[in-house]
Amino acid sequence: MLCVVITGPSFTAARAQICKSAAIADLLEFRLDLFTDETLIHIEVLRSLASASQVLYTLRSQNQGGKGPNGNRRLELIETYLKNPPAYLDVEIHDSLDWVLAIRAACPQMKIIASVHYFTSGFEVVPTALKLLELIPADIYKIAIQAVSIEDTLKLMLLAKKTPLPLALISMGEKGELSRILSPVYGGALTYAAVDEAAAAVPGQMIAETLLQTYRFKTLNIKTQIYGLIGFPTSKSISHHTHNAVFSLLGKNAVYVKVDLVPEELERVLPLLQALGWQGLSVTMPLKASIMDYLDAYDEAVSQIGVANTVVFRANQLLGFNTDGKGALKAIKGKVDPKHKILVILGAGGAASAIGYEALQSSANVIFLNRHPEKALRLAQHYGCKGGDLAELQTYAYDLLINCTPDPMPIPEDWIHPQAIVMDITTNPQKTPFLEAALKKGCQVIYGLEMFAAQAALQFELWGKNTLPTTQMQDFIQELGEAYLTQTP
C-alpha cells in the first residue's frame, strides 16, 4: 500500500494535502501530533475528504520523534479520537500492552500498526526491535532506522524478503530511498510518502508523485526484476527516468534505481544485491575499474579496456561488459565515418579508454591527451597510439575532438578547430560550456545524450530486456532524455 502522510499543520494545508493525495493513496496518515487545535476540531471534515482512501491516525510521541506528549497523556488523547475509529491506528513499541488489547476490543474493525523509530541507529537494532514489536497484537509492524550506509538499507530489504510477517521496514535519510521504492518487491506492507517536499515528515521521505510516475510504484510486486545504477555521485544521471520509461514501454515487470556507492563498499554490497535477486547494473565513476575485482567473467573488450560499465547477474555470477565505447562510436558514425580520421580524446579514464578502443577497431587514428600526461601515455602505449599533455592539442590537425574529462571546459576555446566534429560525453547538462564553445566556432557537435542513448540500448540487450530493434530503442531513450532535460532546470 502507498500511505501518503498528511502533516497539515493548519486545516487549510491539511485539506489541500488530502485533496491532492486522496485519488492516488491507498492510505492517508493523519499526523495528529502535527495538527493545530483548529485542524483537530475539524478532523471529521478532513476524513470526509479522504474519498476512497482509508485513514490512519498517528499521534507520534516526542520520544519517537513526534510532537505529541509521552506516556499516559498520549494514550488518553488517542482515545478521544477513537469515538469514530479510523481504518488504522499507529501504536508505539512502548505503549501499554493492556491498553492496546483494550483498544482492539473496543474497536474490532480498526487495524493496528505497531511502530518504532530509531533516529541514530542502523540495522543492528532491527532484529531485537522486531522481537519486541511481535509481542503487540498488530496487523502491520513498522520499523524505521537511520541508514548509516546503503548496507543498512539492503539488509533491511533482505529481512523483509525473508520474514513472513506484514512489515513496513524503512530506512530514513538519502541512503534509505531504496527501502521506499522497492518495498512492494520485497513484500512490504506499505510505504510512506509525502505530498511534496515541504510536507515530508522525516528525512528521505519520497514524494508520492515520484514513486508513482517515475518508478510505477503500484505495478511493483514480488516478481519485479531490479536493475540499477551504481557509482558516486549518481544525482546527475537521468537513467532512472529513461530506463523506467523503457520498461513501461516494453511491458516489462522491472524497475531501475540509483545507488550511491564508493569502491570501498563494493565487497559488502555486491553479495547483498545478489541475495536480493538483482538482475543487472549500470556502473559509473568511480566504480568502473573497481568493479573488475568482483567480476566472475568479462568479454574481450573489457579485458582490453580495463573497465566495465555493465554487469549482468547470471547463475550466481557477475558478468562484465562495456557499452560506453560502442555507444560513443554509434553516435560518431551518425555524423562521420571515423576510418582514418584523427580522433583526439581529452582524458585518460575509463570512458576515454573504452572510446579509444572502439575507435581503433574502426580504424581511427587515436590520440589521448590528459592534464596528467603520464596517464595518457600509459593508455597510448597500451593501445599502440599517441598520447601526451593537453597542451599538445595545438599541434594536431584533428578531425574529431571528444571531452572525456569531468571538466566542463578542459581547454581554451582557441584550441578548438572550426572544422572539427566536437563531442562531450556529459549527459546532464546537455549543452556543456565545451560544446557551447564548439558551436560558437561553427563546429558540428555530438551531445553526450546521443552516446548515453546508444550505450543504454546496448545495456538493455545485454540484460535481455530489449524486444525492439536497437536503433529504435536508442531513438526512444534519446527522446526520453531530451524531454526530461528540457523540463528539468
Is 471 a domain residue?
A: no
Per-residue pLDDT at 439: 98
What is the pLDDT averaged over residues 200-214?
Answer: 87
CATH number of the domain enclosing 131 = 3.20.20.70
425 CB contacts (<8 Å, ≥6 apart)? 324, 328, 351, 355, 402, 403, 404, 448, 451
Q: Are residues 408 and 431 in the same domain?
A: yes
Active site residue 117: yes
Asked if residue 362 has pLDDT above 80, the reply is: yes
How far apart, in whole angstroms, are the C-alpha atoms of residue 423 and residue 408? 12
Asked if residue 200 has pLDDT above 80, the reply is: no
How far apart, in whole angstroms, are the C-alpha atoms of residue 470 and residue 195? 38
Is 36 a domain residue?
A: yes
Domain count, the chain: 3
Banded pLDDT at 202 (limits 50, 70, 90): confident
Residue 462, number of CB atoms within 10 A of its CB: 16
Active site residue 162: no
What is the pLDDT averaged over residues 195-224?
Answer: 90
Q: Are residues 308 and 343 in the same domain?
A: no
What is the pLDDT averaged over residues 395-405?
Answer: 97
Cell 485539506 -> residue: 15
What is the pLDDT averaged over residues 454-469?
Answer: 91
Per-residue pLDDT at 489: 61
Banded pLDDT at 467 (limits 50, 70, 90): confident
How far apart, in whole angstroms, are the C-alpha atoms of residue 429 and residue 485? 8
Catalytic residue, candidates 117, 240, 326, 341:
117
Q: Are residues 354 and 430 in the same domain?
A: yes
Q: Are residues 213 and 343 in the same domain?
A: no
Per-residue pLDDT at 468: 83
Per-residue pLDDT at 197: 82
Q: Are residues 50 and 196 in the same domain?
A: yes
Q: What is the pLDDT of residues 157-198, one digit of tens each?
A: 999 999 999 999 999 988 999 999 999 999 999 999 999 887
- Give the residue numbers spanning the domain of 215: 2-223
- What does pTM read for this prediction? 0.94
Q: Are residues 127 and 189 in the same domain?
A: yes
Q: What is the CA radius of gyration of the chain?
A: 27
Catalytic residue, candidates 252, 288, 330, 465:
288
Average per-residue pLDDT for the chain? 96
Asked if residue 204 has pLDDT above 80, the reply is: no
How far apart, in whole angstroms, are the C-alpha atoms of residue 179 and residue 142? 12
Active site residue 431: no
What is the pLDDT averaged over residues 303-315?
Answer: 96
Asked if residue 106 has pLDDT above 90, the reply is: yes
Is 472 a domain residue?
A: no
154 CB contacts (<8 Å, ≥6 apart)? 178, 269, 272, 273, 276
Banded pLDDT at 486 (limits 50, 70, 90): confident
Q: What is the pLDDT of residues 260-287, one digit of tens each?
A: 999 999 999 999 999 999 999 999 999 9
Residue 232, C-alpha cell as written in the block = 558516486
Q: Are residues 354 and 315 in the same domain?
A: no
Per-residue pLDDT at 311: 98
Q: Are residues 206 and 258 in the same domain?
A: no
